[in-house]
Amino acid sequence: MRGSFDGSQVRAAENGTWLCNGAVVDGTGRPPFLGDVLLAGDEIKAVSAPVAEVDESDRIDCTGLTIVPGFIDIHTHSDVSFLHEPGAGSKVAQGVTTEVIGNCGFSPFPVARSRRDALEEFITGIGFPRQRVWWDDLAGFAEAVTASGPVMNVVPLVGHGALRIACTGSTDVHLDRADLERLAASLGKSLEQGAFGMSSGLTYVPSKFANLDELVRLGRVLAEHGAMYATHARATPGTEPFEEAIAVCRAAGVKLQFSHVALNDPKMWRRAPEVVALFQAAADRGLDVRYDVYPYHASASALTQYLPGWLQESGETGIREQLSSGRLYDRARRELSRGLFGAIPWDWSRVVFSFVDTGRPELAGRSVAQAAEALDTGPEDLCLDLCARYGNRVQVVLFYRDEADVEFFLADPLSIVGSDGSAMTEDAPGKPHPRNFGAHARLIERYVRARSVVDLPTAVHKSTLAAAERLGLIDRGRIAAGAKADIAVLDLAAVRERATWADPCRYAEGVRHVWINGRQVVAYGRTTGARAGRFLLRGR
């Protein structure tokens, strides 16, 4: 799609901007080439060999810089953050121009009026303060986000947990045929309103209560709409989580996006090749299978996720009430002590508090083991006590992964890079996972430049066109004439993740310019204040 230079493009430049003489990495994965890129309106008008004659006033010199499509972060939890922080500082600073929300079963829609409270509490599980939900569905939420003036594009998935809460609540109920059809109809409505797919979160209440039949039934609805099934898989042993996801894909004929692939069980460490072989075998059989990965050897979530399911069914109040009974407390303690997801032996020195309510800042950055010792209590008792007091406002980072697996997944052609992070500002409380601030910068700094795990065009492809194709975003993710003008200009040698585990709330460096829908939102490393984002709806 590389355009050739002709006189008409010089005239077009009167109403556009030339990015001149940059190394263009166009998102397809092919090698960089030296070129000029003309932006006009909200589109890329032309891509050409360097042109000498462009008027100074219409040109931005990109000599020595790299022009890439803006990053499309296929796995984020920025859902409600756009309502509070529409400037999305941590993401813009990395050159991200599109956030895919609604992952891991969490989305702030649809809403059943009688269960508005339950949904509000549910979405605190992705790490944000409680958000009042005043809309009823995707259309209403899209309006709310649009009214906040988001800096970047937003692509919604609908969460299976949210669908289930709206239809049958948070409890572990068996869905009869009629329930299942109501759930399927509700999914259909979100898809008709423009959701790009559905995500499940099979370690979270209530998504975890779904059986294979339910997932396949919903998968068929997705397949009918040509939409994607993203899954945060169950924490079952060995390769079972991957096999279940592939089984849904095969039985429903739906395209599968396996979310944030990782091996958390030490028994599975260094076995990434086996997992990739499973995905590859499925792809070889003609199934539409991809997965995403984030470039860190640690995960993060609410601590409540690791409590027994029965304890979580009636929300924070239910946790508090049940733990006040001695008998249920003992049962919860016994079940929690069985390990991570009830199976992987706990090493409490690997579980680090990232945020514990606003009243307990001293805990952020300390491991559960350290904190329990200092407070002269047991780690399980400390966890139960904090969850009873603060519910989902207890967030942890878990160092339960092996770096070799991360690198193997990153290098595999089936992987796409998503952060699993949210848009935040540098004054975010606690010590959140650095992925919120640095995933895309880290990909370049560490896995392209320092470790040579992937080359630059491949890394850019995994963060742009590969994600766009997965979602069916036909006009984004590449530098080509006719594509939307979502662009980042990088000073490649200066791209650096400043976030660390100890000091995570630091914007990344090295992104010189960013355009979103043709408007410049970062110029010479500083945000311009332009709010150029669009809430994208499938088929619109």
- Supply the minimum distance, in Å, between the C-beta of residue 199 and Zn ion: 8
Q: Which is nearer to Zn ion, 153 or 207 (CB)?
A: 207
Q: What share of the chain is helix, strand, coil (3-state, %, to 5)?
A: 40, 20, 40
What does the per-residue mask of binding to Zn ion show for 346-375, with x meaning CB under 5 A?
Answer: ------------------------------
- Supply the minimum distance, in Å, between the C-beta of residue 362 and Zn ion: 28
Smallest Cα–Cα separation from 461: which of 514, 521, 415?
415
* Range 47-106, binding Zn ion (CB under 5 A): 104
Q: Which is nearer to Zn ion, 217 or 232 (CB)?
A: 232
Q: Which is nearer to Zn ion, 104 or 397 (CB)?
A: 104
Contact 197, 249 (CB under 8 A): no
- Supply the minimum distance, in Å, between the C-beta of residue 422 and Zn ion: 12
Contact 254, 229 (CB under 8 A): yes
> Residue 449, exposed/middle/buried by CB under 10 A (0-12, 13-18, 19+)?
middle
Q: Which is nearer to Zn ion, 159 or 308 (CB)?
A: 159
Angstrom CA distances, 13 to 10, 49, 127, 320, 476, stand at: 5, 15, 45, 64, 22
Q: Which is nearer to Zn ion, 258 or 507 (CB)?
A: 258
Q: Which is nearer to Zn ion, 24 or 104 (CB)?
A: 104
What does the per-residue mask of binding to Zn ion show for 415-434, with x meaning CB under 5 A?
Answer: --------------------
- Position 327: which residue type? R
- Supply the minimum distance, in Å, between the C-beta of residue 121 and Zn ion: 18
Question: Which residue reads 């204040």 in tokens?
Answer: 529
Contact 427, 505 (CB under 8 A): yes
Count of residues that bind Zn ion according to CB under 5 A: 2
Q: What is the dihedral of CA 51, 54, 58, 61, to 10 degrees?
A: 50
- Supply the minimum distance, in Å, between the C-beta of residue 46 and Zn ion: 40
- Supply the minimum distance, in Å, between the C-beta of residue 292 and Zn ion: 10
- Supply the minimum distance, in Å, between the C-beta of residue 105 and Zn ion: 8
Q: Which is nearer to Zn ion, 110 or 125 (CB)?
A: 125
In degrees and rounded to multiples of 5, residue 525 shows phi and psi of 80, 0
* Range 210-239, binding Zn ion (CB under 5 A): 232
Of all residues in this chain, which one has the CB nearest to Zn ion in the complex? Answer: 104
Smallest Cα–Cα separation from 158: which of 179, 139, 175?
139
What does the per-residue mask of binding to Zn ion show for 137-176, with x meaning CB under 5 A?
Answer: ----------------------------------------
- Supply the minimum distance, in Å, between the C-beta of residue 279 and Zn ion: 18
Q: Which is nearer to Zn ion, 201 or 219 (CB)?
A: 201
Distance CA 466, CA 91 (A): 19
Distance CA 368, CA 378 (A): 9
Q: Which is nearer to Zn ion, 170 or 520 (CB)?
A: 170
- Supply the minimum distance, in Å, between the C-beta of residue 165 and Zn ion: 17
**Does residue 328 sit in helix, strand or coil?**
helix
Distance CA 540, CA 533 (A): 15
Can you give the binding site for Zn ion, defined by CB under 5 A? 104, 232
